[in-house]
Chains A and B, each alone.
Chain A
Amino acid sequence: MSNKRTLAVLVENKPGVLDRVSSMFRRRGFNIDSLTVGRTENSELSRMTIVVDGCSKRLESQLRKLINVVSIDDVTSKPNVTRDLALIKVKVNSDTRSEVLQLCEVFRANVVDAATESMIVEVTGAEDKIWAFLENLEPFGILEVVRTGVVAMARGNRAVSTKEYKPRPYRNGSTPQPVFATSNGPFVV
């Protein structure tokens, strides 16, 4: 069985943060399986979903050392939802079109574009579902694939909160307030 870990990482939304994270992975010899990053409900924070192969404790402690990393949540260890989205341009003709459409129905994929000799289908799901879908489309001729990479979230009421995060008071003259983050204990200095 694979030794993959999925980490939900909150980082400060600052220039170069992605560089800091990916450079640490490279120089410490960790392999990134997938890394996605996007804004959160708090515009000062971004959230990364990082899928890595093995040794997540060592990796976590290295990640935590980066000043811009606010919190780390290993969602692999708890019930979770993981999703990957793929756009697939597949070859079709009058004979195969209906068969492909049938497959889309089985995998709950949507056709988002159709042309004379091809169509683009959009499929969402856990990684293994995407692989299965791709395998099924293979005989028809896959022309192009793009995937977003995995995003993940732990199930249940407990949340990785961004609400308590306050940006550092860089602007001149304002007084910094102590900052608390809830998820992984105090980060107050």
Chain B
Amino acid sequence: MLLSGAEIILECLIKEGVDVIYGHPGGAILPTYDAMTRYPQIHHVLCRHEQGASHMADGYARATGKVGVAIATSGPGATNLVTGIATAMMDSSPMVCITGQVPTGAIGSDAFQECDVTGVTLPVTKHNYLVTDVNELAYTIKEAFFLARSGRPGPVLVDVPKDVQNAKCEFHYPEALVSLPGYQKLPPPTEEELTAAAELVRQAKRPVILAGQGVILSGAGRIVREFAEKTDTPIAFTLLGKGGVPEEHPLSLGMMGMHGTGQANAAIQEADLLLAFGMRFDDRVTGNIKTYAQKAKKLHIDIDASELNKNVKVDLGIVGDLRTVVEALTPRVEETKRPEWWSTLKSWIQDTKDRCIGEREVEDKLLAAHVIQDIFKFTRGEAIIVTDVGQHQMWEAQYYPHERPRTLLTSGGLGTMGFGMPAAIGASMGLKSSNVWAIVGDGGFQMTLCELATAMQERVPIKICIINNGFLGMVRQWQEMFFDKRYHATPMLSPNFTKLAEAYEIPAKRVTARAQINETLSWAEQHTDGPVLVEFAVEQHDIVYPMVPAGADLDKMIRRPAMSQV
């Protein structure tokens, strides 16, 4: 039977198991939107801005591990997707974006709503396509999904001109495995690599595992934990690695890096072996690269060969699927106990506990860290937390230990403000869960707050917690610490958030004291037929401790005074 290009797109989505797509219609994608009326199996979510659509698809993908799909029209529709695509690229999130394009005959003529979208998105996609022949459409979409979810996942964009959406051809979805001559198959680790790796572990006295998002993406949590237990090795997490192994495990040191724990950073600097598992030595993780982990040999396992020796020179790099490699490595390492190393680590852990503000009494002030800590306790650490970017994000990372993979969704690599709320919508829809909490700041929330309408229209039961400190808090913190307290362009006026929610007919409450937190959270939890919003009016001049100033040595942390010194 002859199908139009538009129908082929939707048939392909169904074959790929897509049940929900996020988008915004417009001229060049209208044939596909029209065809949607004949495909009720696919639920289209109307976003208020295409950036929201790409974050929702991203949130859906991060929460479920399935490919998220965003759809937009040509020109401005497509360019609005770009921030979300770049966000997904940096954090290896599988996503397929379908964009309309002006008809093939008009391409290159500066037609209405024309933009070279494959050109614009070239550096921020894993791969992209401009389909100029309807006969190539089905295969291209098959390939796009394959690329998005295989290897190191990432966003793939398919640009489809309007005339290609209207043109007809026979539809056969290719069932066979896609073959790509330039796409590398991952060979299993070699005997030499495994022997060398086991020898590094055998010689180490002070090893540390650096667990990145690769642990989560390859499903390696269980085996990494087994490896750590067998070799008595502490585990430090990257921001995106949180939850790969339970963070309250006795071997956990918590998060590493700029706002990481004292023990994680000190351990890295003192270590004689770093076991980098599916992470990429981002500058926020290493601090000053010249003084980073000088005493340590480095064993790096990553699925992406280009990450090896990119930022940090490694002694042994193994390219491969993390789970496969660690599964092969674990039987080769000896059962070890490291009492000396752990007695040092435990003194650092105790020091961090002394400085922790979670249980400290603070009069007359509502602290963001307390809000996060109370949300953690209230949700028993079982919620899916989606954050925005800024101080609240770091407090979340410090005060909400995650026990399971895919329970913290956050924009780590690109640091995209505005990510939180739309990504929470995608996550909640993907998981069909009402236990998704968007923790956002007053700054980032206002970048994509138009999606409140989307959440309401779709009745998505997310819990939106705005940590409102009246500032662009993280920027304010940098101004306080490094720019002589010149608070320029960071104090911000916000709308009355509860009234704003009311305008969207979203139930909302405002919290000003710690005593109100629990009852408000349980009030919010009861709403499962749509979004709720809670605003926390927190202390304005608060600082995320500890902090490694950008470019400083990792162990030169600015820390909060210990309890005994207060």
Q: A and B: real partners?
A: yes
Where the two chains meet, the residues of A that have a C-beta atom closer than 8 Å to any C-beta of B are 11-12, 15-16, 19-20, 23-24, 27, 57-58, 61-62, 64-71, 165-166, 168-173, 175-179, 181, 185-189
Are A178 and B182 interface neighbours, CB within 8 A?
A: no
- Chain B, residues 162-175, CB within 8 Å of chain A (1/0): the string is 00000001111010
Give the residue name and chain of the A residue nearest to B140 (CB): A170
Where the two chains meet, the residues of B that have a C-beta atom closer than 8 Å to any C-beta of A are 118-119, 122-123, 126-127, 130, 133, 135-136, 138-140, 143, 146-147, 150, 169-172, 174, 176-185, 187, 304-306, 308-310
Give the residue name and chain of the A residue nearest to B306 (CB): A61
**Assembled-state Cα–Cα distance A117/B140 (Å):** 57
What's the least CB distance linking A1 to chain B, in Å?
Answer: 23
Q: Which residues of A contact B150 (CB under 8 A)?
A: 189
Contact of B305 among A15, A24, A64, A68 (CB under 8 A): A64
What's the least CB distance linking A137 to chain B, in Å?
Answer: 41
Give the residue name and chain of the B residue nearest to A20 (CB): B122
Q: Which residues of B contact A187 (CB under 8 A)?
A: 180-185
Q: Which residues of A contact B187 (CB under 8 A)?
A: 185
Known: A67-B126, A181-B181. 13 other contacts (CB 8 A): A16-B118, A23-B122, A58-B309, A61-B306, A68-B182, A168-B143, A168-B180, A168-B181, A170-B133, A179-B181, A187-B180, A189-B180, A189-B183
What's the least CB distance linking A96 to chain B, in Å?
Answer: 49
Given contacts A19-B119, A61-B305, A189-B150, contact A172 B183 (CB under 8 A): no
Are B127 and A67 interface neighbours, CB within 8 A?
A: yes
What's the least CB distance linking B8 to chain A, in Å?
Answer: 9
Give the residue name and chain of the B residue nearest to A66 (CB): B182
Are A172 and B181 interface neighbours, CB within 8 A?
A: no
> Count of A-B contacts with CB under 8 A?
102
Give the residue name and chain of the B residue nearest to A165 (CB): B181
Q: Which residues of A contact B136 (CB under 8 A)?
A: 170-172
Given contacts A23-B122, A27-B123, contact A176 B183 (CB under 8 A): no
Are B179 and A170 interface neighbours, CB within 8 A?
A: no
**Assembled-state Cα–Cα distance A77/B146 (Å):** 35
Are B184 and A64 interface neighbours, CB within 8 A?
A: yes
What's the least CB distance linking B139 to chain A, in Å?
Answer: 5
Give the residue name and chain of the A residue nearest to B310 (CB): A58
What's the least CB distance linking A32 to chain B, in Å?
Answer: 16
Q: Which residues of B contact A177 (CB under 8 A)?
A: 179
Are B179 and A172 interface neighbours, CB within 8 A?
A: no
Are B174 and A188 interface neighbours, CB within 8 A?
A: no
Given contacts A171-B136, A173-B172, A176-B176, contact A15 B130 (CB under 8 A): yes
8 contacts between A and B (CB under 8 A): A16-B122, A67-B180, A168-B179, A170-B136, A171-B136, A172-B136, A175-B176, A177-B179
What's the least CB distance linking A63 to chain B, in Å?
Answer: 9
Give the residue name and chain of the A residue nearest to B8 (CB): A172
**Assembled-state Cα–Cα distance A173/B170 (Å):** 8
What's the least CB distance linking A21 to chain B, in Å?
Answer: 11
Q: Which residues of A contact B127 (CB under 8 A)?
A: 67
**Assembled-state Cα–Cα distance A182/B351 (Å):** 57
Q: Which residues of A contact B185 (CB under 8 A)?
A: 186-189
Q: Which residues of A contact B310 (CB under 8 A)?
A: 58
Given contacts A20-B122, A58-B310, contact A171 B135 (CB under 8 A): yes
**Assembled-state Cα–Cα distance A80/B140 (Å):** 38
What's the least CB distance linking B283 to chain A, in Å?
Answer: 15
Q: Which residues of B contact A171 (CB under 8 A)?
A: 135-136, 139
Given contacts A58-B306, A67-B147, A187-B184, contact A178 B130 (CB under 8 A): no
Give the residue name and chain of the B residue nearest to A175 (CB): B176
Interface centre among A23, A57, A65, A70 (most CB of B within 10 A): A65
Are B182 and A69 interface neighbours, CB within 8 A?
A: yes
Given contacts A16-B118, A62-B306, contact A67 B174 (CB under 8 A): no
**Assembled-state Cα–Cα distance A119/B65 (Å):** 67
**Assembled-state Cα–Cα distance A24/B127 (Å):** 12
**Assembled-state Cα–Cα distance A70/B181 (Å):** 6
Q: Which residues of A contact B178 (CB under 8 A)?
A: 168, 176, 189
What's the least CB distance linking B205 to chain A, in Å?
Answer: 31
Given contacts A61-B306, A65-B306, A170-B136, contact A176 B181 (CB under 8 A): no
What's the least CB distance linking B475 to chain A, in Å?
Answer: 26
Q: Which residues of B contact A58 (CB under 8 A)?
A: 306, 309-310
Are A168 and B139 interface neighbours, CB within 8 A?
A: yes
Given contacts A27-B123, A175-B176, A189-B150, contact A70 B182 (CB under 8 A): yes
Give the residue name and chain of the A residue nearest to B143 (CB): A168
**Assembled-state Cα–Cα distance A26/B433 (Å):** 43
Q: Which residues of B contact A61 (CB under 8 A)?
A: 305-306, 308
Closest 10 CB pairs of A and B: A61-B306, A170-B136, A61-B305, A67-B127, A179-B179, A70-B182, A173-B172, A172-B135, A179-B181, A170-B139
Are B123 and A23 interface neighbours, CB within 8 A?
A: yes
Q: Which residues of A contact B309 (CB under 8 A)?
A: 57-58
Q: Which residues of B contact A27 (CB under 8 A)?
A: 123
Q: Which residues of A contact B305 (CB under 8 A)?
A: 61, 64-65
Q: Which residues of B contact A71 (CB under 8 A)?
A: 182
Q: Which residues of A contact B182 (CB under 8 A)?
A: 11-12, 64, 66-71, 187
**Assembled-state Cα–Cα distance A168/B177 (Å):** 12
**Assembled-state Cα–Cα distance A12/B183 (Å):** 12
Q: Which residues of B contact A176 (CB under 8 A)?
A: 174, 176-179
What's the least CB distance linking A78 to chain B, in Å?
Answer: 22
What's the least CB distance linking B58 to chain A, in Å?
Answer: 21
**Assembled-state Cα–Cα distance A65/B183 (Å):** 7
Q: Which residues of A contact B138 (CB under 8 A)?
A: 172
What's the least CB distance linking A54 to chain B, in Å?
Answer: 13
Interface centre among B140, B174, B182, B310 (most CB of A within 10 A): B182
Q: Which residues of B contact A172 (CB under 8 A)?
A: 135-136, 138-139, 169-172
Q: Which residues of A contact B180 (CB under 8 A)?
A: 67, 168, 179, 187, 189
What's the least CB distance linking A104 to chain B, in Å?
Answer: 43
Q: Which residues of A contact B306 (CB under 8 A)?
A: 58, 61-62, 64-65
